[in-house]
Amino acid sequence: MLQSPNCLLEILSPTNETLERAAHLLLKGELVGIPTETVYGLAADATNDHAVAKIYSLKKRPQFNPLIIHFAEVSAIKSHVEWNNMAENLAHAFWPGPLTLILRKKIDSPLSLLATAGLDTVGVRIPRHNVARLLIQKIGKPLAAPSANPSEAISPTSALDVRRGFDSQKPLLIIDGGICEGGLESTILDLTLNIPTILRPGLITPEAIEEILQCRVLRSSPNSLFKAPGQMKRHYAPHIPLRLNVTNVSSSEALLAFGPSPLSGGAKMLNLSQDGNLEEAAANLFRMMHELDQPFFSGIAVMPISSEAIGVAINDRLCRAATKKEN
């Protein structure tokens, strides 16, 4: 067990006893930090408005931003949403895994309205991480879980990241499921529009989705009309300035490099992927941004990263992180 001196955040390994305790807390309407294969989630019983409200308040998240609802089985999802063939095929291909489907919510679904921000649609997914699925099975209810970071901050890819984000806040149990395998949030695909549309790029590429659906899907960009309601322009932001596509680095800056020939001259360098591997870069992105986000650097300089495949999602995150704070 890891507990820091001045705070009430507790990190526990995922033993049976821990999962029992977590399930008990969730059923009582408390929050638990849980590992998923994408990023850590801040989970609450998705049918309990009070529990869900605690998520918004701990994250200081804008209320209009709906939450993704996590399930352990497709059969459970079907009682909350209007299921269709596209969803069936995608579920078969990608679940459990990092794909969120936006579907019409059934009128009699007991999901918390706060969790869905009053929309008549809902984002659902089945996470691949065993701990997340075991916990959902244990409580027999879906979990609403945004990324477990304060609003606008970098998403957490380890239990320690979660604790850092919420230090000195209210008590919070965090289950340590190791470093997230994916390191980037799920792809969000809206199936309620005329043409299936990607609202947030992620680990599952548009090409992979098109192959399963056998039709074209629209891609959103940070400026596109089709945005997840919570896709604010400034998001995933470190505390110090971020410069993108740099070709030089100053001696006071930290360098987030990519590829076999990192620039020289920065105060510190971390390489997203020495081999120029985009998947490896995605998995390292948030962790390295956290590590370089230190007040003694004047900023973080990021080398260019190709916009192919999962590089789109990486650049999407970086653009948001680099957007200056609005007054």
Residues making contact with Mg ion (CB under 5 A): 147
> Which is nearer to ligand TXA, 271 or 284 (by Cβ)?
284
Q: How far is the CB of 288 from ligand TXA (least distance, A)?
A: 18
CA-based radius of gyration for the chain: 19
Is residue 102 a contact residue for ligand TXA (CB under 6 A)?
A: yes
Is residue 197 a contact residue for ligand TXA (CB under 6 A)?
A: no
Binding ligand TXA by CB under 6 A: which of 22, 44, 46, 67? 67
Ordered alpha helix ranges (H), the chain:
16-27, 49-59, 74-78, 85-94, 130-139, 159-166, 206-213, 278-292, 311-322
> Which is nearer to ligand TXA, 38 or 48 (by Cβ)?
38
Q: Are 42 and 59 in contact (CB under 8 A)?
A: yes
Q: Which does 66 bind (CB under 5 to 8 A by kind): Mg ion, ligand TXA, none?
A: ligand TXA
Is residue 35 a contact residue for ligand TXA (CB under 6 A)?
A: no
Binding ligand TXA by CB under 6 A: which of 14, 96, 146, 311? 146
> Which is nearer to ligand TXA, 206 or 230 (by Cβ)?
230
> Which is nearer to Mg ion, 99 or 301 (by Cβ)?
99
Is residue 147 a contact residue for ligand TXA (CB under 6 A)?
A: yes
Using CA atoms, how far apart are residues 307 and 148, in angstroms rounded to an integer?
Answer: 27
- Number of amino acids touching ligand TXA (CB under 6 A): 27
Q: Locate 170 and state its tokens.
A: 């209210």
Q: How far is the CB of 160 from ligand TXA (least distance, A)?
A: 17
Among all chains, which residue has been given the structure tokens 């069936």?
88
Q: Are 126 and 74 in contact (CB under 8 A)?
A: yes
**Contact partners, residue 141, CB within 8 Å, separation at least 6:** 26, 27, 45, 46, 47
309-319 CB burial, b ≥16 within 10 A, e <16: bbbbbbbbbbb
Cβ neighbours, 10 Å, residue 243: 15
Is 124 in a helix, a strand, or coil? strand
> Which is nearer to ligand TXA, 171 or 229 (by Cβ)?
229
Q: How far is the CB of 63 from ligand TXA (least distance, A)?
A: 12
Site of interaction with ligand TXA (CB under 6 A): 36, 38-39, 41, 65-68, 98, 100, 102, 119, 121-123, 127, 145-147, 185-186, 188, 199, 228-231
